Amino acid sequence: MSVQNDTPKKLPVPPGMSRRHFLMALAGTAAFWTADEFADWRQAIAAEAAQTYTPRYFTPDEWRFLEAATEQLFPQDETGPGAKALGVVGFIDRQMDTPYGRGGLWFMSGPFREGPANLGYQLPYAPREIYRLGIAGADRYCRDHHGNAFADLDHPTQIEVLTAFEKLPIMFGETLTAGIFFEQLRTNTMEGAFSDPIHGGNRHLGGWVMLGFPGARADFMDWVDQYGPAYPLGSVSISGETA
Amino acid sequence: MRGLRFALCLAVFPPVASAHAATPSDDLIRQGEYVARAADCAACHSVRGQAPFAGGVPFDLPMGRIYSPNITPDPDHGIGGDTEEQFSRAIREGVRKDGASMYPAMPFPSYARLTDADVHALFVYFRYGVKPVATTPPASTIVWPLSMRWPLTLWRGMFSPAPHQAAAKTTQRSFPDPVLARGAYLVEGAGHCGACHTPRALSLQEKALTAADGDLYLSGGGSVDGWHPPSLRQDNRTGLGRWSENDIVAFLRGARASEGSAFGGMADAVEHGTQYLTDDDLHAIARYLRSLPARKTPDPVWKYDAATETALRRGDVSARGARVYVDHCAACHRDDGRGYPSVFPPLAGNPVVMDEQPDSLITLLYKGAIVPASHNAPSAFVMPPYAHVLSEQQMADVLSFIRGAWGNDAAAVDVEAVRKRTPKGSGAGGAKMPLN
Amino acid sequence: MTTKNADAIVVGAGWAGSILAKELTEAGLKVVMLERGPDRATAVEGAYPDSIDELRGAIRHRLFQDLSRTTVTIRNKIGQTALPYRQLSAFLPGEGVGGAGLHWSGVHFRAAPDDLALRSSVIARYGQKFIPEGMNLQDYGVTYDELEPFFDKAEKVFGTSGEAYKVNGKVVGNGNVFAPSRSDDFPLPPLKDVYTANLFRKAAGEAGYHPYSLPAANASRQYTNPYGAQMGPCNFCGYCSGYDCYMYSKASPNVNILPVLRKDPNFTLITRAHVMRVDLDSTKTRATGVTYLDLDSNREVTITADLVVLGAFQFHNVHLMLLSGVGKPYDAQKNEGVVGRNFVYQTITTSRAWLPENTFTNQFIGTGGGGVAIDDFNSMNFDHGPHGFVGGSPVWVNQAGVKPIAASTIGGGKDAPRWGAGYKKALVDTYRHAMAIDAHGSNMAYRDVFLDLDPTWKNAYGQPLLRMTFDWQDNDIRMNRYVVSQIEPIMKALGATKYELGMLEPGKPFDTRIYQTTHLGGGAVMGDDPNTSAINRYLQSWDVPNVFVIGSNAFPQGMGYNPTGMVAALAYWSAHHIRTTYLKSPGPLVRV
């Protein structure tokens, strides 16, 4: 039921650039709507145009950790595709290069004081710093306890380590707990599996197909009162990509 | 019994309830303003967001680009130095103060029908009711020899009626009631609807200037900026055959009606002009339009066919273009193609969808469109552009789908047609997005 | 510093601000409305399909308050150090034109008559002793009958869909049997039931309760309101809460009021204008205008005006009053002062039923304001006597469209794994076959739950942050647990293969990390007594009578219903009295 997605177009998608990449660069900008801003789009697109993804933020070692850890959090199995197939790490890497990744959406003014967990996050670290410190701490923990970096451990050990991060009071340095790092990673992993593919994850809409989520069609006028059966139509992205 | 003749009360401005309520010149200015709106002067002489009537709107003609002139009362940059006679000749005959002829972008062949009273009111308005602006629009880019004006004079002599002839032609026609007579005056004269909705000959003159000139009049014009003005005659599928008088009135008043919404050039016409007309005048226009018989013979009747709706409601998107339709279009236009009238227009039975020329549909997909806000209908509605979302093949497929669904039975659109009509630029023409 | 002049200044471009600005321009006043966020419009950023983006919308909070510049601090009790609310989670105030009225869901209630006079009702039925020690139970000082014309007006402006029970004393339909009589029916018929709402309707009926369609400001068909503004019909896309509605079908100031207001020559909207304070004269009993920071030029601008309306979000109104010295700040130790007093929230917990595998609940289909509710345990509709708590809670299925990232957070139920293969399986099963039932209830006011200025943290403009001292109290925990226990018969009637009841847990403090609701209230409440209320029954400051404070800050306690309908009615009520009385003779509308 798929339709053509990547037909090159004369306008406005520049040559050699897929619509999906084009949308990734544009989605949500006011410029999307006015012809006048067209010159700026092209610059934005030029930065996004690489067909094979090159990490912007994570180092190769960090990338290895993330590929291994996210695949444990969201494994390929009989239910559906895993984090790797869905491009979750690429998604997280892109997110590090957004206002969110830099902590721009959080109140990051001091002083920073410890408090009970129910009063929320109180560390001075933006997501990108949580990852940098957290991955280093996690790999250090793995070497100390299991003699190898996380990515080189066998799967049962990886699961054991992640469970410890989630539940035990382990510190990665002075202030960052394993728990905060784990929750950050878990949250972003699920976002990468289930957000619109224009953000770089949920590759080929695999996360949505697994759930049975129709995506950006966003119209159920004729389905709201069809009670009981599964909704039959496939998923569609904001970019027009379908599955 | 033959229809009575109504030809005497043909001034555009509506009768003034109490003529002495204000000073005569205030009334006249107001009446002139009304004529200016009925004649949609702003559409060509005002640039959005700039001082009214200062000119500078570009027109791309086959031989180059011209800019509309400043018609504010500034004596040096506008028309403040014109006598009423010079003004009148410009409006009704297309003759400039220096005696040269105007490009027929100015609809003087229609304005030729304006009464002396209306021209006088218009003159008073442009002298006293408009703020002078001391700017001159850019010069035209037409180079010699094409810039010579004498061929225009020749053209004018051949195709533009002299005002007395035009007026006589209108007064000598019979109308069964004064409302129709007024409708004819508004449509054929001030409203110059034919400028867009009547086909033009190779030499660019409208093939018919009034209903009396034959059934080409308002039978659909040539595309302008990718928009294809449809027939306003009673053709059932491709004209106004199924529009009630009230539908037409609602459309002209608020750019939206149960049968369809205004877009492209018509959105501007409503925004600048028709929204300001009185109910009586809108009804006169509607009744007159409904008096123009269908041009097509036979004229097949559109009838709703539920097959598409049934299939889509079952989740059957096997028809070519159907999946694109449910993914991107049905949210507003619905599986049944009936839309949500007056908010999101129907595609089922819409004359624009069934038009022989798919130009408007293609431009709509590429650029999107804005149904403008008016003082009667303050909410604007926007169709987003799909240039970034759909491939040319998908556009061809989905347009073929909507032209074939719900009983529309119009010809498919092939990908070459889409490619040939790719508009310049993208976005909704750079227009400011409405803020609702 | 530059100075401008207006007849009236309205702070905040949400529902309260837009309604007041509309009413005051209608009265011929030159009105300036100040909004600290950006301008917002459906066609620009809410357009289809770009707005159908959960990550940008509900997850990265496109339409919500920019916490990086200003936030609040929160603690559970006096003596504890309050800490900054650094990440949007428990509650989500809006920012930008439309405010929370742009990103809300659309549930549009009138208040229950008893809730407006809760103290009197409780005492009349159970006696004074029934009110627990430390609970500041109060009446609003305005009755349902007085507000009825304004509830009606708001519904017509919002294009509200619903089914009436009683109109002018006559039973007219299958609406909420506990709802008071109305002067007119809803402007639009109720929305269709989504499947789970329909299941709930049947099951609740079988359990002996009285189900009704939630009143929703999500248009059940296209609509033109009295201002001429048009709405499209809701197509159940599910992108209401956290989003601007691309169908123009969810009421918002942007769609329902501003298209007309923006054209009014007496109206000026200034965006990216962060109001620093209300300026008072030397007597501190008269406002001379407001001073705002122009966020683009970083310059302070003062506007003078005869009338100042605070129409910002609940706690921003309170914050501005505290920063400006409008009204006496509340002192919890002494139990004196009024600004910050009676800070309230709402209780909300979610229960969940799993249906057989061949039944698909299609939870992505939904609408923010639609659904089916029961009021059998709300307000004074049941006998509190045996239970010994004040308050109540509607129970409903309000399937607002469950998006995948939100679903991933919910996961597969209480005992399901949080990650790994087991998580995925349970998640898919839950997403496809489960349904949620909420108990969305009242929260009473208490002496030691309040708002004041934080001693430590400051916002980006150097002003002290607002401090919240808040925790769940025994009365409300017991109320919630009782009402939720009454869901059990519904679960049984649903034929659920499994169900979980969600309740507040005694001893578990308020958790700022988990989204509950944005229905914050109180802090500058209305009433008849200047010793226990900051504003009078017309929402006029007792102390500075040319300042009116419109919003859920006026609620003396958190009611079981969603607040927007009440806020809108209070806005029209206040505006009516400003227009008919105050403008003719400016001064206190209530003398004590």
Q: What is the pLDDT of residues A105-143, one digit of tens each?
A: 999 999 999 999 999 999 999 999 999 999 999 999 999
Q: Is C59 in contact with A191 (Cβ distance < 8 A)?
A: yes
In-domain check, residue C262: yes
Which one, of C157, A26, C543, C109, lies nearest residue B389 by Cα?
A26
- As a whole number of angstroms, the distance between CA C5 and CA C16 comes to 22
Angle at C294 (CA atoms; ends C293, C298), nearest 5 degrees: 85
- Do A89 and A153 fall within a single domain? yes
Please provide the size of chain A in residues: 243
- Do A101 and A146 fall within a single domain? yes
Res C366 pLDDT > 50: yes
Check residue B427 and give its pLDDT.
45
Eight-state DSSP code of residue B274: G
- As a whole number of angstroms, the distance between CA C359 and CA C495 comes to 11
- CATH number, domain at B335? 1.10.760.10
In-domain check, residue C408: yes
Mean pLDDT of C17-26: 98
Work out the minimum CA distance from A145 to partner chain C, whole angstroms.
Answer: 22
In-domain check, residue B404: yes
In-domain check, residue C588: no
Res A20 pLDDT > 80: no
The nearest alpha carbon in chain B to A18 belongs to B388
**C-alpha dihedral sign at A186, A188, A190, A192:** negative
C-alpha distances in angstroms, C294 versus A87, A222, B66, B435, C37?
42, 47, 43, 21, 11
Q: Is C41 in contact with B331 (Cβ distance < 8 A)?
A: no
Res C399 pLDDT > 70: yes
Please tell me which of the candidates B340, B382, B434 has its beta carbon nearest to residue C222. B340
In-domain check, residue A243: no
Q: Is B388 in contact with A4 (Cβ distance < 8 A)?
A: no
In-domain check, residue C591: no
- Do A101 and A170 fall within a single domain? yes
Residues 6 or more apart whose Cβ sits within 8 Å of residue C423: C411, C412, C416, C417
Res A196 pLDDT > 70: yes
Res A8 pLDDT > 70: no
Please tell me which of the candidates C41, C221, C233 has its beta carbon nearest to residue B433. C41
- Do A137 and A101 fall within a single domain? yes
- Do A40 and A108 fall within a single domain? no
- CATH number, domain at C217? 3.50.50.60
The partner residues of C397 in beta bridges, in order of sequence, read C372
Chain C CB within 8 Å of residue B139 CB: no
Cis peptide before B163 (omega within 30 of 0): no
The partner residues of B321 in beta bridges, in order of sequence, read none
In-domain check, residue B216: no
- Do A134 and A182 fall within a single domain? yes
Residue with tokens 């150097």: C462
Contacts of C66 in chain A (CB under 8 A): 105
In-domain check, residue B339: yes
In-domain check, residue A228: no
Res A175 pLDDT > 90: yes
- Do A68 and A186 fall within a single domain? yes
Strand arrangement, sheet containing C8-11: C267-270, C31-34, C8-11, C307-310, C547-549
Tokens for B170, please give them. Answer: 């209108």
DSSP-based three-state secondary structure for A161? helix
Q: Tell me the residue type at A61.
A: D
Chain B CB within 8 Å of residue A225 CB: no
Q: What is the pTM of this model?
A: 0.92
Residues 573-592 of C with CB under 8 A from B: none
- Boundary (domain end) residue, out of A14, A36, A52: A52
Res C539 pLDDT > 90: yes
Contacts of A195 in chain C (CB under 8 A): 53-55, 59, 404-405
In-domain check, residue C350: yes
Work out the minimum CA distance from C222 to partner chain B, whole angstroms.
Answer: 7
- As a whole number of angstroms, the distance between CA B178 and CA A220 comes to 50
SS (H, E, C) C528-564: CCCCCCCECCCCEECCCCCEEECCHHHCCCECCCCCH
Residues of B at the A interface (Cβ-Cβ below 8 Å)?
Answer: 312-313, 315, 317, 323-324, 326-328, 330-331, 334-335, 384-385, 387-394, 397, 419, 422, 425-430, 433
Which one, of C466, C273, C235, lies nearest residue C367 by Cα?
C235
Q: Is A32 in contact with B388 (Cβ distance < 8 A)?
A: yes
In-domain check, residue A79: yes
Residue B231 contacts residue B239 (beta carbons within 8 Å): yes
Establish whether C440 is a catalytic residue.
no
Phi, psi of C176 (to 5 degrees): -70, 115
The nearest alpha carbon in chain B to A26 belongs to B388
Check residue C3 and give its pLDDT.
73
Please tell me which of the candidates A4, A217, A238 has its beta carbon nearest to residue B326. A217
- C488-501 confidence digits (pLDDT tens): 999 999 999 999 99
**How many domains, chain B?**
1
Q: Tell me the residue type at B113.
A: R
Estimate to the nearest angstrom the gap between the alpha carbon of B159 and the chain centroid: 21
Ranges under pLDDT 50 in chain B? 1-10, 15-22, 426-430
Residue with tokens 């033009």: B200
- As a whole number of angstroms, the distance between CA B246 and CA B262 comes to 15
Contacts of C249 in chain A (CB under 8 A): none
DSSP-based three-state secondary structure for C336? strand
Contacts of A85 in chain C (CB under 8 A): none
- As a whole number of angstroms, the distance between CA C358 and CA C363 comes to 15
- C435-448 confidence digits (pLDDT tens): 999 999 999 999 99
Residue with tokens 């089916």: C372
Contacts of B328 in chain C (CB under 8 A): 49
Check residue B170 and give its pLDDT.
67
H helix intervals, B291-423: 307-313, 322-328, 330-333, 351-354, 359-367, 392-404, 415-420
Check residue A89 and give its pLDDT.
97
- Do A20 and A138 fall within a single domain? no
Contacts of B365 in chain A (CB under 8 A): none
Work out the minimum CA distance from B350 to partner chain C, whole angstroms.
Answer: 19
In-domain check, residue A178: yes
- Do A77 and A184 fall within a single domain? yes
Mean pLDDT of A234-238: 95
Instruction: Band the pLDDT of C356: cuts 50, 70, 90.
Output: very high
Please provide the size of chain C in residues: 592
Mean pLDDT of C315-339: 97
Check residue A43 and give its pLDDT.
37
Chain C CB within 8 Å of residue B128 CB: no
In-domain check, residue B405: yes
Instruction: Band the pLDDT of C365: cuts 50, 70, 90.
Output: very high
Q: Is A79 in contact with C428 (Cβ distance < 8 A)?
A: yes
Helix (H) or strand (E) segment spanning residue B265: helix B264-272
In-domain check, residue B319: yes
In-domain check, residue A179: yes
Higher pLDDT, A2 or C25: C25
**How many domains, chain C?**
1
- Determine the straight-line distance between the first and last CA of chain A, rounded to whole angstroms: 7
- Do A48 and A1 fall within a single domain? yes
- As a whole number of angstroms, the distance between CA C196 and CA B163 comes to 71
Chain C CB within 8 Å of residue B344 CB: yes
Check residue A160 and give its pLDDT.
98
Check residue B345 and give its pLDDT.
97
C-alpha distances in angstroms, C82 versus B387, C318, C342?
51, 18, 18
Q: What is the span of the domain harbouring residue A93?
A: 60-194
In-domain check, residue A214: no
Q: Is B344 in contact with C232 (Cβ distance < 8 A)?
A: yes
Please tell me which of the candidates C53, C55, C237 has its beta carbon nearest to residue A220. C237
Check residue C324 and give its pLDDT.
98
Residues 6 or more apart whose Cβ sits within 8 Å of residue C210: C176, C177, C178, C204, C374, C375, C376
- As a whole number of angstroms, the distance between CA C306 and CA B220 comes to 58
Angle at C290 (CA atoms; ends C285, C296), nearest 5 degrees: 165
Residue with tokens 């005696």: B99
**How many domains, chain A?**
2
Q: Is B394 in contact with A218 (Cβ distance < 8 A)?
A: no
Residue with tokens 């610059």: A43
In-domain check, residue A11: yes
Q: What is the span of the domain harbouring residue B359?
A: 307-420
Angle at C559 (CA atoms; ends C554, C562), nearest 5 degrees: 90
Res C227 pLDDT > 50: yes
In-domain check, residue A123: yes
Number of H helices, E strands in chain A: 9, 2
Residue B232 contacts residue B365 (beta carbons within 8 Å): no
Active-site hit among C61, C108, C316, C519: C519
Check residue A16 and give its pLDDT.
42
The nearest alpha carbon in chain B to A231 belongs to B315
DSSP-based three-state secondary structure for B342? coil
Which one, of B114, B115, B38, B126, lies nearest residue B82 by Cα?
B126
- Do A116 and A31 fall within a single domain? no
- A133-174 confidence digits (pLDDT tens): 999 999 999 999 999 999 999 999 999 999 999 999 999 989
Mutation site, C157, C245, C248, C365, interface B, largest B CB count within 10 A: C248
Secondary structure (DSSP) of A58-81: --HHHHHHHHHHHHHHS--BTTB-
- As a whole number of angstroms, the distance between CA B220 and CA C70 comes to 59
Q: What is the span of the domain harbouring residue C388?
A: 2-163+171-582
Secondary structure (DSSP) of B12-73: SSPPPS-TTSS-HHHHHHHHHHHHHHHTTHHHHH--TTS-TT----EEEETTEEEEPPP-SS
- Do A45 and A71 fall within a single domain? no
- C449-481 confidence digits (pLDDT tens): 999 999 999 999 999 999 999 999 999 999 999
